[in-house]
Amino acid sequence: MSFYAPLPTEHTDIRLLYITVPENDAAIPKVTMASVPLDSNPRYYALSYVWGLAWVDDGLEVNGTMTHCTASLNQVLRQYRSLIANIQGNDEDIPLWVDAICINQQDLKERSAQVQLMKKIYQQAEGVIAWIGPEYQLGLRCLKILATEISSRPTSSISLSWLRDLKVDFCGAHYEQDSPNSGSGNFFWDAVNQFLNSPYWARIWILQEMTLAKKLYFICGSHTIQDEEIMTVWTWIDNIPRELKRPPFIDSSIWACLIMRNSTWLYWGDLIRPLQIRKLWQHFHQNNLPEKMQDALFDYKVGGIRMMLDQYWLKSTDPKDKIYGLLGLVEADIVPDYSLGVRDVYINFVQYWISKERTLNFLGVSGIGLLESRVSEYDLPSWVPNFVNMSAKIGLSEDSYGADAGHIEDERIIRTDRSSLFISGLAVDEISETRKITSIHEFCTYAWDIAIEDDDVNKVAMYPTGISRLQALFRVTVGDIDIFNGERPRLSQPGTESFDRLLNAFMIFHTLRIGEAGPSPGRNSNLPYIDLLLGPGASELNRNSPPLGGSDMEEYQRKYFQSTENNWVFWTKEGYLGVSASVLRAGDSITVAFGYSIPLVLRKVESHFELVGHCFILGYMDGEALRFRRSRGFEIQEIEIR
């Protein structure tokens, strides 16, 4: 475009927009664009927003030249001067940095160079304006009201009586719901839910834009809220005790939304995740990270290249930004180059990973079985993460397992060319039967089918590790991890706490009354049926701790049901049971790869393999299969994956 003068290549210059006060609400935004050295510490604000699909022809005038811009940017520029006046308390003219205008998007060389400056651009800005959009302003105003009230009360108080005294009715039902998932029944909580579901939170770029900001302002229309205020509301909700009895003045649907923290309705995760990363980043780089936050730093992998794999679900307009959009938060020697194709960018990322990490953890988000379709335009090998159209990922943490335990570093082969990945490992089993679980009803029917031997209700079907098949199924569907404490039961006969968890899973199974009329869910009735879950003799165990109840039971059921739907359950030739999010076939090979702690599913294609995905198999996750085969003289294989 004619208003772009080349930026000096030897300096860290950027362009800034000086916005003219509009003559009226209908006036086309006018800006003067000028370049400045970033090293001169200029004052400016940086914009964070969703580009959107709607464009406005002649929606912006830059240095006297009319150009088009997105509708969302047009809205921001119309209001910018008044927004900054409200934030600063004066009408000082401070310029704005906007990626879509300040970077010549058609100049790939300039674009690559400017993306390398993004970290510095957002760090040095006076503040970051996070434009959510005017359609979310009621939700923002509700959060603002709640934040103000919560901040005025003792942090130790769990009383909720103040909610009924507010002018805004957060407690009552305003309409009748069509279904349990159709809303809270309250217009104001529904507005908060709409705010939480804004497309803004799914952008790849928001992580660094929000994390690096000195000050962060979320704006909807003419209303503003800061990140600390949002965290105040979330912390208050998160601290409501699950066992707290519902106050009579709060509608039951609203109460369910508040207590079920991770429910699909009023889901905070997409918003809170970047805010928590921002908080961790600030503490970490100020060298004052509290000890209680160390685990969170590890979980989010802040600052490390592994962080890039955990954001696979975030969206970007340009597929290359799935990598480049996180470079400001990662210590990685990856130089953005928009002249490369998507295939080369993704392969380069994997090769860099291998050179630095010497692990195969990137395979956790790779494989043809995770894709909605094979995108031929990118021509990606199956071992390269396809960040564009990945549809699912089974929630397995590499740190919880050790399928490759027992191999030594010298045995590990990890090398690539531009089409093949060569690894070392052992094929340990083969898939013999698969079944996709599409509903809870189907899961429970399947559970009843495998629980007994030869249709004899008094004969418990046993699993190769010595536990019952039914227990194996329940443990497989959650990756053998207690969904409350994150721990794995290592023994075939669980302790009291694990017993209670499994018993509650069993109660869920029979509450649904699938198959024959099962035992009642009461704790001490029909005890012989407990043998189906815990094995022969389990009914004689001494049980002292109470079962789960109330909201804990509801949360357990929700998480359990969530973990079963739309996954593939399979049996292996050796009689082991597994689960995967990938689309599997009978005959697929189960392989333990040295350098990856979770078994892989590989599919033979002529002289090589394709990666289908990874899987959980009860009895293979701690090196058992690898040790058994090596003790029988099986030799390590070099495996080629394309």
Q: What is the b/e burial string over 578-608, where b = at least 16 CB atoms within 10 angstroms of the residue's CB?
A: bbbbbbbeeebbbbbbbbbbbbbbbbeeeeb
Helices 252-259 and 187-196: angle between axes, nearest 10 degrees: 30
Better-scored residue on pLDDT, 409 or 582? 582
Specify the pairing of strand 96-97 against strand 45-49.
parallel
Rounded distance, CA 78 to CA 419, Å?
49
Lowest-confidence region among 57-66, 94-103, 172-181, 424-433: 172-181
φ, ψ of residue 617 in degrees (nearest 5):
-130, 120
Specify the pairing of strand 452-453 against strand 421-437.
unpaired
Better-scored residue on pLDDT, 359 or 393? 359
Interacting residues of 457 by C-beta distance below 8 A, sequence separation 6+: 516
pLDDT single digits (tens) 601-625: 999 999 999 999 999 999 999 999 9
Lowest-confidence region among 392-401, 441-450, 565-574: 392-401
Rounded distance, CA 17 to CA 63, Å?
10
Lowest-confidence region among 222-231, 402-411, 492-501: 492-501
Find out whether 596 and 363 touch, Cβ atoms under 8 Å. Answer: yes
* Neighbour tally for 474: CB within 10 Å: 23
SS3 of the chain: helix, strand, coil, percent, to 5: 40, 20, 45
> Partners of 96 in the beta sheet?
17, 45
Give the pLDDT of residue 302: 60
Report the mean per-residue pLDDT for the chain.
83
Rounded distance, CA 408 to CA 5, Å?
57
Above 50 in pLDDT, residue 495? no
- Using pLDDT thresholds of 50, 70 and 90, give the confidence band for residue 494: very low
Rounded distance, CA 44 to CA 27, Å?
23
Give the pLDDT of residue 510: 54
Give the pLDDT of residue 296: 54
Specify the pairing of strand 600-605 against strand 567-572.
unpaired
Rounded distance, CA 227 to CA 440, Å?
38
Kindly state the tokens that stand for 543: 């049980």
Lowest-confidence region among 24-28, 62-66, 147-151, 317-321: 24-28
Rounded distance, CA 414 to CA 367, Å?
17
Better-scored residue on pLDDT, 587 or 69? 587
Kindly state the tokens that stand for 232: 């105040």
Above 90 in pLDDT, residue 196? yes
Lowest-confidence region among 168-177, 306-315, 358-367, 477-486: 477-486
pLDDT single digits (tens) 110-125: 999 999 999 999 999 9
Q: Where are the domains of the chain?
A: 13-131, 137-211+227-298, 303-429+579-641, 441-504+518-548
- Using pLDDT thresholds of 50, 70 and 90, give the confidence band for residue 372: low
Q: Which of 206, 195, 208 lies closest to 132, judged by CA? A: 195
Task: Please give the order of strands across the beta sheet that includes 96-97.
Answer: 65-70, 55-62, 30-37, 13-19, 96-97, 45-49, 128-131, 216-220, 223-226
Summarize the confidence of residues 350-372 as an average pLDDT: 87
Better-scored residue on pLDDT, 505 or 446? 446
Rounded distance, CA 363 to CA 383, Å?
6
Give the pLDDT of residue 604: 96
Helices vs. strands in the chain: H and E counts, helices first? 19, 20
Helices 496-511 and 440-451: angle between axes, nearest 10 degrees: 110
- Using pLDDT thresholds of 50, 70 and 90, give the confidence band for residue 442: confident
Above 50 in pLDDT, residue 515? no
Residues of the chain with pLDDT > 70, as a percent, come to 79
Lowest-confidence region among 38-47, 391-400, 408-417, 518-527: 518-527
Lowest-confidence region among 118-132, 354-368, 524-538, 600-614: 524-538
- Using pLDDT thresholds of 50, 70 and 90, give the confidence band for residue 260: confident
E strands, 278-371, in order: none
Give the pLDDT of residue 588: 97
- Using pLDDT thresholds of 50, 70 and 90, give the confidence band for residue 236: very high
- Using pLDDT thresholds of 50, 70 and 90, give the confidence band for residue 386: confident
- Using pLDDT thresholds of 50, 70 and 90, give the confidence band for residue 232: very high
Give the pLDDT of residue 241: 84
Find out whether 621 and 481 touch, Cβ atoms under 8 Å. Answer: no
The three-state DSSP-derived secondary structure of 590-633 is EEEECCCCCCEEEEEECCEEEEEEECEECCCCCCHHHHHHHHCC
Better-scored residue on pLDDT, 304 or 438? 438
Summarize the confidence of residues 463-475 as an average pLDDT: 85
Find out whether 16 and 94 touch, Cβ atoms under 8 Å. Answer: no
Above 60 in pLDDT, residue 516? no
Summarize the confidence of residues 156-171 as an average pLDDT: 87
Find out whether 618 and 476 touch, Cβ atoms under 8 Å. Answer: yes
Interacting residues of 152 by C-beta distance below 8 A, sequence separation 6+: none
